[in-house]
Each structure stands twice: as structure tokens, then as C-alpha cells.
């Protein structure tokens, strides 16, 4: 097998991040409505920050958006006088709308996602019958990360890893000794992300997860979702590579790819679609912006019938 340079670079960054001064400071913001965790990651030395996977509140019954989740992040950033360099998405989420452009307007930073978002735009652009004014080239974002791309948050080193499977475009971001793994793996007692959305692939997800789990055992993993788990009464979103390898109920060491694919595929058949999938994807493939208002000044979110 050819050398995985991007992963080697990520492992090097983790191993080099042993001092309190070069570990990122991380705050998780849990959104109970969608079970999503958004993060503010910052470098204590320079006060430079990244926001990962923010949430825009949405009440589907009323068709109304809200800013309470985004405001918590703005308050946190403002109180600490942080300067936001990055507003990053791990993928085009299917269960919540992104607040990335709202936050970017107020706090600055570059809006970034994985390069393969163009494939998600292609698939869902068709499903929503989006016109030619909807560009399927990722131009709604400031930067598209390729596997192995490096970036900085102040003096913290970071690398983007392409980890497809849940969607074709999923990325994980290794920042210092922490990895933000999006929807790949969940807490060890819960397992892994679903792979039944358009473009999802269980075999790919297994390989992406095993790739992440070959980072050093001490790597801190920060998850995008938590749903509790049988016997656990509290939400949790931080674990380590070593814990996952030892205990993850779907992908601990020793589980074969074929066994995982069979389990994942069977389980996905029983899952209902997330309540907000249609609004979320429609907005998130536009970089978190609502579709353009119609001639009455109102934006509409469409529901395709029998299309997914
Ligand atoms: Fe997701």
C-alpha cells in the first residue's frame, strides 16, 4: 500500500502537540434540537480561532429560522476577544442548517468545506431541480479542502483529511492533538454514522474510520453528534482513538470490513430520514445560505415528493 502522507502529517501534528501551549483550546456547544455539537477551537497564544459545524435554528412547522445557537458562539468568541480565521464545515449536514454565513458576516473568517462538496451539489441540485443559477462548483465557499491540505489557526497546525462514507464529501480536521471527525464515528457506546444518504457508502466509511483510528492512540476525537446510548443518561462528544479502538460497538479493533458493511447496511434500513434533511441539504449545499428570495421577497424551501 502506498504511503498515506496526509495521515502521516496528521500523526506528526498530534505527536508534536504535547505541551499545554500548543494544544488547542476547545469549546463544544450542544444543540439539543438536532443533537449537534458545534466547536470553537482556538490558539491560546494568538487568540486566533476556527468555528466548526455551526447550527442555525430552524422551526420547520413555522418555516422560521433563529439565531440562539449562533449567538452562543458569537458571545463566546466576543467575550474572549478571539479573532476568527476559519468557519469550517465537516460536510453538508442533513439534520441541521449551517449558521456559517451568518457567523462569517459577524465574525469574519474563511468559509471552507471539502472539495467533494461539488458531488453533493450535483446530486442534490438534481433532486431539488435547482436552476442554472445554482452553481455546482463549490463557489459558495471561500476554500475547498483536498485531502492532506494543511492550514494554521494562529500557531496551531492543522490538516484536512478526506473521510468519505457518510457522504462523499466528509472531511475530518486534525488540529494540534484534536481531531474533529464530523459524521464518521460517534461515541464508543453508540457506534458510527449512517451511510444511506445519496452518495453514502458503508465500505468507504469503514475505511475512513480505520484511517482515523490509525492516528496516535492519545488523539482526542471530537464528534459532530451524540444521541446518548443505551444505559448512558448524559450527552458526550469527546473520546480518544485508543478508546474507540478498544470499545467502539461498530468498529473496534477486530471487526472486519465485511461484518461492518453488513451491520451498517441492515441498521440503515431501519432508520427514518432526519426531520430536517430536505431543508438542511437545500441550504447547506448553498454554503448555508437560503435559496434566493422570489419576487415577493420571500425565500422558499422546497419539498421534492418521492425523490429521496
Ligand atoms: Fe451528517
pLDDT higher than 60, residue 102:
yes
Question: Residue 95 C-alpha to ligand 1 middle, in angstroms?
Answer: 7
How many CB atoms neighbour CB 35 within 10 A?
Answer: 18
Question: Residue 289 C-alpha to ligand 1 middle, in angstroms?
Answer: 18
Question: Residue 137 C-alpha to ligand 1 middle, in angstroms?
Answer: 20
- Residue 195 has which C-alpha cell? 451511510
181 phi, psi to nearest 5 deg: -100, 5
- Angstrom distance (rounded) from CA 115 to CA 171: 9
- Residue 126 has which C-alpha cell? 438534481
- What is the per-residue pLDDT across 40-85, written as a single tens digit (0 to 9) for each? 999 999 999 999 999 999 999 999 999 999 999 999 999 999 999 9
- What is the per-residue pLDDT across 268-289, written as a single tens digit (0 to 9) for each? 999 999 999 999 999 999 999 9
pLDDT higher than 90, residue 3:
no
Asked if 179 contacts 158 with a C-beta cutoff of 8 angstroms, the reply is no
Asked if 264 contacts 205 with a C-beta cutoff of 8 angstroms, the reply is yes
- Angstrom distance (rounded) from CA 89 to CA 171: 8
Q: What angle do CA 29, 35, 36 make, to 5 degrees?
A: 50
Question: Which residues are bridge partners to 178 per DSSP?
Answer: 175, 220
Question: Residue 68 C-alpha to ligand 1 middle, in angstroms?
Answer: 21
pLDDT at 20: 85
- Angstrom distance (rounded) from CA 57 to CA 40: 18
Could you list which residues have their CB under 5 Å from ion ligand 1? Answer: 93, 183
SS3 content of the chain, % helix, strand, coil (to 5): 25, 25, 50
Place of cell 505541551: 19
> What global pTM score does this model have?
0.96
How many CB atoms neighbour CB 252 within 10 A?
Answer: 15
Asked if 192 contacts 185 with a C-beta cutoff of 8 angstroms, the reply is yes
Question: Residue 274 C-alpha to ligand 1 middle, in angstroms?
Answer: 10
pLDDT higher than 70, residue 1:
no
- What is the per-residue pLDDT across 119-137, written as a single tens digit (0 to 9) for each? 999 999 999 888 878 899 9
Question: Residue 56 C-alpha to ligand 1 middle, in angstroms?
Answer: 15
- In sequence order, what are the residues at sequence separation of 6 or more whose Cβ sits closer than 8 angstroms to the Cβ of residue 171? 90, 91, 113, 114, 145, 160, 161, 162, 163, 182
Strands 64-66 and 57-59: antiparallel
- What is the per-residue pLDDT across 134-154, written as a single tens digit (0 to 9) for each? 899 999 999 999 999 999 999
Average pLDDT of the residues in 94-109: 97
- Provide the mean pLDDT of the chain: 96
Percent of all residues in the chain with a pLDDT value above 90, rounded to a whole number:
92
pLDDT at 240: 98
- What is the per-residue pLDDT across 173-210, written as a single tens digit (0 to 9) for each? 999 999 999 999 999 999 999 999 989 999 999 999 99
Question: Residue 81 C-alpha to ligand 1 middle, in angstroms?
Answer: 30
pLDDT band of residue 267 (cuts 50, 70, 90) is very high
Amino acid at each position: 500500500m502506498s504511503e498515506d502522507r496526509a495521515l502521516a502529517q496528521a500523526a506528526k501534528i498530534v505527536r508534536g502537540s504535547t505541551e499545554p501551549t500548543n494544544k488547542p483550546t476547545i469549546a463544544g456547544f450542544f444543540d439539543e434540537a438536532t443533537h449537534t455539537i458545534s466547536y470553537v477551537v482556538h490558539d491560546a497564544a494568538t487568540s486566533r480561532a476556527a468555528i466548526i459545524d455551526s447550527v442555525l435554528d430552524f422551526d420547520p412547522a413555522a418555516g422560521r429560522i433563529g439565531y440562539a445557537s449562533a449567538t452562543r458562539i458569537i458571545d463566546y468568541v466576543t467575550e474572549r476577544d478571539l479573532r476568527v480565521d476559519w468557519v469550517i464545515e465537516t460536510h453538508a449536514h442533513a439534520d441541521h442548517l449551517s449558521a456559517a454565513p451568518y457567523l462569517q458576516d459577524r465574525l469574519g473568517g474563511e468559509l471552507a468545506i471539502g472539495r467533494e462538496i461539488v458531488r453533493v451539489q450535483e446530486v442534490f441540485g438534481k433532486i431539488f431541480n435547482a436552476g442554472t443559477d445554482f452553481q455546482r462548483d463549490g463557489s459558495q465557499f471561500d476554500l475547498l479542502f483536498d485531502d492532506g491540505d494543511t492550514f494554521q489557526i494562529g500557531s496551531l497546525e492543522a490538516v484536512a483529511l478526506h473521510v468519505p462514507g457518510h457522504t462523499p464529501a466528509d472531511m475530518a480536521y486534525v488540529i494540534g492533538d484534536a481531531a474533529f471527525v464530523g459524521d464518521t464515528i460517534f461515541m464508543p457506546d453508540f457506534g458510527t454514522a449512517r451511510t444511506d444518504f445519496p452518495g453514502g457508502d458503508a465500505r468507504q466509511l469503514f475505511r475512513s474510520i480505520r484511517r482515523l483510528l490509525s492516528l496516535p492512540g492519545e488523539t482526542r476525537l471530537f464528534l459532530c453528534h451524540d444521541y446518548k446510548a443505551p444505559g448512558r443518561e448524559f450527552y458526550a462528544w469527546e473520546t480518544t482513538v485508543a478508546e474507540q479502538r478498544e470499545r467502539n460497538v461498530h468498529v473496534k479493533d477486530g471487526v472486519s470490513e465485511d461484518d461492518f458493511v453488513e451491520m451498517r447496511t441492515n441498521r440503515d434500513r431501519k432508520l427514518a430520514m432526519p426531520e430536517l434533511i430536505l431543508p438542511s441539504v437545500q441550504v447547506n449545499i448553498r454554503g448555508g445560505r437560503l435559496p434566493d428570495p422570489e419576487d415577493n421577497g420571500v425565500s422558499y424551501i422546497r419539498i421534492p415528493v418521492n425523490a429521496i
